[in-house]
Structure 1
């Protein structure tokens, strides 16, 4: 059964990905610190949620990254 990560985790991963993109454009200490903070938030949230739902942390992390980076197309109304 596939893990469906909650929107909160997906949003955190997207914020981390955005911060990482900023590092690539402007690798200052402040920008690196922002990315580390965002990445740490994602890791903590994923770890806590995986424990809560009883799923392997790495499987949840993979599902979060996939959902954040490759969203499913929305059906047309």
Structure 2
């Protein structure tokens, strides 16, 4: 069953995942201890919020995480107006 991400909570998860992905990209550019620490902090926030949201909607955490990553990394095209 596909997880549908909608509403403010989904927007929060997507924003957090984007920040984590950006921090990961920064580590690839500059693998300093500070960059690693920033990525770990952001990734930890994403994991905590994904776990919390999965419990709220009674869905497996790994499926919620996959839906968030898909929404960030492979977004659906927006319909033309």
The alignment's TM-score, normalised by the length of structure 2, stands at: 0.91
* Deviations 1:11-50, CA, capped at 9 Å, x for gaps: 1111100000000000101110000000000000000000
Q: What CA distance in whole angstroms lies between the structure 1 residues aligned with 2:4 and 2:23?
A: 24
Query: Which residue in the other structure is 1:21 paired with?
Result: 25
Query: Which residue in the other structure is 2:2 paired with?
Result: 2
Unaligned runs of 5+ in 2: none
Structure 1 stretches of 4+ moved >4 Å = none
Aligned pair count reads 77
The alignment's TM-score, normalised by the length of structure 1, stands at: 0.96
Unaligned runs of 5+ in 1: none
Q: How does 1:1-77 map to 2 (within 5 A)?
A: 1-5=1-5, 6-77=10-81
